[in-house]
Structure 1
Amino acid sequence: MNILVVDDESVIRDGLARILEGDSFTVDTAKSGHVAIEHLQQKEFDLIITDLKMPGVSGFEVLAAVKTLQPDTPVIMITGFATVETAVDAMKNGTVDYIVKPFTPEQILEKVHLALEQKKNTVEDLYVKKEIDCHHGFDQFIGDSREMQKVYRRIMQVAATDSTVLITGESGTGKELAARAIHKNSPRRDLPFVAVDCTALAENLLESELFGHVKGSFTGAMQTKMGLFMVADGGTLFLDEVSNISLATQAKLLRALQERQVTPIGGTQPVSFNIHLVAATNRNLKTMVSEGIFREDLYFRLNIIPLDLPPLRERKGDIPLLVRHFMNKFMEEVGKDLRGISPEAMQFLENYSYPGNVRELVNTLERAVVLAEGDVIQKENLELGDSAETELCTGFDGFVPTSAEALKEMKRHIRDRSVENVEKAFVINALKRSNWNISRAAEDTGMLRPNFQTMLKRLGISVKDYFGK
């Protein structure tokens, strides 16, 4: 492992070199930021350790050079107590960590090993995503975040099996994309993939679509129709928004899944089928079971392999990738050649909560590309409403609820989201006040440390992810 140490003080520079070489690292040193940039132009490094305040070329300028010349190389910033706040600001611009002078050999080695481990994990995750894109056709998914890496791995695990998969996630998170990826990577890939939106059809029509009917079985049945279970025979059947199926049809669906047979409406002879069933919902089926509006036995039959898709607000690190991808897509479609997006516009996109998830971001970018008058998308080109207002108006599945039950579920959803936002603000504020020390933050809020950690875990908050924000 090659490490570059940059410091204008020879005592610190040489001392760091001895510590790192004693731990089997190869070390180059630079007595100024200018010399450091020359090193970066000539040789690749696994890690950069640089002082923040140096005459001439500062640590910030070294950091900028690293991001240009060796963008995958992590940077640790050395700072004094008086400039800790500045070092924290530096973390927003790309450093992975900072260390305050004076420091012990143990402290610097701990920081170094952590930074290198984070780099290793990032490289491995990017490799996994590239391999999946090349060999498994996940190119429709955009994102290299850890949350999406978990999704990719779960898809690959379940694709090789015939176990029923239940995909959960808010509207716009890509549930059908996930279902298609499962099919594309399964042994059934050359056989049909059949998708049915359980929201789009009335109860009697949905039953006919799923199971088929014989000629004359009901008014309008002018000819015998094969159900989708049979159309998908040998392949994959995707039931989207399965939570919208009525209790009566749920019972028939359960029976079909148990017996691997369907009887067409008006028919007398059951017909066997062989499918891989993938279901999806944006609602909490457990809650629906407790409220008596979804069968518990069907829930257990569907939820053999759960696959939860994260909302965009929980993987905001993917937003720049999504923006670049869809900007390029829409520029090609409309014949525009924009230079990019302004920092203010990008920050606005990264700070938005996206009740409509990726779908909302995609629609916003399409409008922005079409309406942009200059060669750069500006903040004013982004027609995003207030998150709370947007969610209140559209609910969580893209439209105003039309039933008392749907209204009840939407209210619960908004209430839970509001409580979660308050809890996140509470713990992040406590961590900031305590310089991101979990023990001090717990003590400051009057909570036991284990309870504070449990809240962090439940909210999906990692100190290393939020540090410096």
Structure 2
Amino acid sequence: MNVLVVDDEPVIRIGLTRTLEGASFTVDTASNGHLAIEMLQQKNYDLIITDLKMPGMSGFEVLSAVKALQPEAPVIMITGFATVETAVEAMKNGAADYIVKPFEPSQILEKVQRALEQRPVTTEEILVKKELDCHHGFDQFIGESREMQKVYRRIIQVAATDSTVLITGESGTGKEVAARAIHKHSSRRDQPFVAVDCTALAENLLESELFGHVKGSFTGAMQTKMGLLMVADGGTLFLDEVSNISLGTQAKLLRVLQERKVTPIGGTQPVSFNVRLVAASNRNLKTMVSEGKFREDLFFRLNIIPLDLPPLRERKGDIPLLIHHFITRFIGETGKENLRGLAPDAMQFLENYSFPGNVRELVNIIERAVVLAEGDIIQKENLELAEAAEASSAEFEGYVPQNAEALKEMKRQIRDRSVENVEKAFVMSALKRNNWNISRAAEDTGMLRPNFQTMLKKLGISVKDYFER
């Protein structure tokens, strides 16, 4: 196994080299952090041992570089008695362990062995990850955090049943990914998986899509159409953003789910169907029930097995893995084979970023950074996020919340402003690419034109104002 030792003291480097080589490790050494990063860019290591306090570049910066360039490699920090608390802080930021100077050879070997043993997740979790194809792109999960391990286990547990699942989580956390994983590992895997975006259709159109209609049943019904409940017969029906269904349609859907029969609009004969239902929402349905905006009986019908997906800011340990994966993916798509990873300050910035758009936003950030990178390392400015983040923080500079509620409200406002910044950049980019044509911009982004226009209205963007400049 290859080990990299980083320390500015020659006696430490020599001592660790002798100890580790005596235990059959292959050891490379670096006298400073800058040299260590160059070596990390050129060679893969199974473990890194680095001093915490070094001139020029600290052990924290080396740790950040390792997480960016070789996220699977554990890092052990070397520290003195006076900086033990700092070493503990480093562990919170991803270091595997720390050791206090002076130390005995047996101590370092024990720490190294423990770090290497703890590097993989448990056998069960490895199997679950393989079943979920986690090593693939955004169409599959990536992450080894405790939060994601819970998600993997729950998916495998519920996939073996026909129980209805309610997936909750913020936009961009992968709710449809989870729904498809449940279907893939169920006994219905060879039958249809049908996804319905409940935000994309007006009330009457949603009912027609779900239940079907007969020819002539309403204006525009030029032919008989089978509803998606029947299209998904034998398989899985995924209702995405179910919180957007109107109360009237909720009542009809509840009846259909209870009876397991559907009557097409304008029809007279109910038809039996057999689907496994998975629903998803980025809003709190319990709160909506208390506000009278969602039927309680339908909520209980959907919430048989809950599955909550954590936002990216609550599983920051997965960020380096995700970044490494997406950089590799976009290098392949862009042909920029010279790229070797992120600069340490860029990695640190992303680790501190709140990601209001979650993994979906991270994908866009990395794609943009890969395209804009001019050298062999992606620089912080290539992320094009620093100004927006600093502006959001500057709004609240000097204000310190005095209680938990005020803190919660401040965090909400910062997240809302961050989301709005991302949305504005999203729609403006689409409009510019399509010469300010709303229809083409909506099609380019995969949105329906009415939904794209709604977003423009919410953001206060008038195409006419920009087009006439």
Q: TM-score, normalised by structure 1?
A: 0.66
| Matched residue, 2:305 | 305
Q: 1:155 to 1:120 in 2, by over 3 A?
A: farther
1:364 Cα deviation from its structure 2 partner: 0.6
CA distance in 1, matches of 2:257, 2:147: 31
Superposed counterparts of 1:13-24, under 5 Å = none
2:93 is the counterpart of 1:96: no
The alpha-carbon distance between structure 1 residues 93 and 33, as it changes in their structure 2 partners (threshold 3 A), is farther
Kindly provide the CA deviation profile for residues 262-320 of structure 1, in whole angstroms up to 9, marking residues without a partner as x.
Answer: 11101111111100000000000001000001000000100000000000000111111
| Deviation per residue, 1:430-458 (Å, 9 max, x gap) | xxxxxxxxxxxxxxxxxxxxxxxxxxxxx
Residues of 2 paired with 1:232 and 1:390: CA distance? 37
- Match in the other structure for 1:132: 128
Match of 2:120 in 1: 123
Partner in structure 1 of residue 328 of structure 2:
328
Q: What do the CA deviations read for 1:24-79 (whole angstroms, capped 9, x no partner)? A: xxxxxx993342242354489xxx9x9979xxxxxx8xx99xx899x766758574
Q: Does 1:32 align with 2:15?
A: yes
Question: What is the identity, as a one-letter code, of the residue corresponding to 1:392?
Answer: R
Structure 2 residue matching 1:251: 3-state secondary structure:
helix
Question: Aligned residue for 1:164?
Answer: 164
Instruction: Specify whether residues 376 and 52 from structure 1 end up closer, same or farther in structure 2 by C-alpha distance, changes over 3 A only.
Output: closer
- C-alpha separation between the residues in 1 aligned to 2:357 and 2:381? 20
Amino acid at match of 2:254: L
Let me know the Cα RMSD of the aligned residues.
4.1
Alignment of 1:36-435 (within 5 A): 36-42=19-25, 75=76, 79-80=80-81, 82-85=82-85, 87-88=87-88, 91=91, 94-98=95-99, 116=114, 123-125=120-122, 127-138=123-134, 139=136, 140-337=140-337, 338-384=339-385, 385-386=388-389, 391-392=416-417, 394=419
CA contact (8 A) 1:356 1:398 kept: no
Equivalent in the alignment of 1:5: none
Residues 132, 141 of structure 2: 8 Å contact kept: no
Separation in 2 of the partners of 1:86 and 1:308? 33
Structure 1 position 366, deviation (Å): 0.7
State the AA in 2 paired with 1:312: L
Aligned equivalents of 1:224, 1:136: Cα separation in 2: 38
Deviations 1:347-395 (CA, angstroms, capped at 9, x unpaired): 1111100000001111011111111122211000002232665632646
Q: CA deviation at 1:340?
A: 1.5
1:86-144 deviations in whole A, cap 9, x for unaligned? 64466457342456999xxxxx9xxx89x95x87665334x444423434434411111
C-alpha distance in 1 between matches for 2:75 and 2:327: 28
Deviation track 1:239-277 (CA, whole Å, cap 9, x = no partner) reads: 000000000000011111111111110111111110000
Task: Give the AA of the match of 2:366.
Answer: L
Going from structure 1 to structure 2, the CA distance change for 1:90 and 1:31 (only over 3 Å counts) comes to farther
Is the partner of 1:124 in helix, strand or coil?
coil
Is the 8 Å Cα contact of residues 188 and 236 (structure 1) preserved in structure 2? yes
Task: Indicate if the aligned counterparts of 2:192 and 2:231 stay in contact, CA closer than 8 A.
Answer: yes
Deviation at 1:84, TM superposition (A): 3.0
1:330 to partner: Cα distance: 1.0
Letter matched to residue 239 of structure 1:
L
Q: Report which stretch shifted further, 300-309 or 376-385.
A: 376-385
- Check whether the contact 1:194–1:238 (CA below 8 A) recurs between aligned residues: yes
CA distance in 2, matches of 1:229, 1:290: 29
CA change 1:193–1:90 in 2 (3 A) is closer
- What amino acid is the match of 1:249? T
TM-fit CA distance, 1:178: 0.3
Aligned residue identity for 1:33? L
* Residues 133-172 of structure 1 deviation map (CA, whole Å, 9 limit, x = unaligned): 4344344111111111110100000001010000000000
222-231 or 330-339, which deviates more = 330-339
Q: Counterparts of 1:189 and 1:312 in 2: how far apart (Å)?
A: 29
1:42 to 1:312, Cα distance in 2 relative to 1, 3 A: closer
Distance in 1 separating the partners of 2:162 and 2:94: 46
What are structure 2's unaligned runs of at least 5 residues?
1-12, 28-46, 53-58, 393-412, 428-449, 459-469
Provide closer, same or farther for how the CA distance between residues 397 and 168 of structure 1 changes in structure 2, counting only shifts above 3 A. Answer: farther
Q: Distance in 2 between matches of 1:223 and 1:131?
A: 48
Distance 1:157 1:333, change over 3 A: same
Are residues 32 and 122 of structure 1, via their aligned partners in 2, closer, same or farther at CA, if it must alter by over 3 Å?
closer
Partner Cα distance (1:121, 1:279) in 2: 36
Q: In structure 1, what residue type is equivalent to 2:295? A: R
Bigger mean CA offset, 330-339 vs 291-300: 330-339
Q: Bigger CA drift: 328-337 or 267-276?
A: 328-337
- Separation in 1 of the partners of 2:87 and 2:262? 65
Query: What residue identity is the alignment partner of 1:356?
Result: G
Q: Compared with structure 1, are the counterparts of its residues 93 and 137 closer, same or farther at alpha carbon in structure 2 (3 Å cutoff)? A: closer
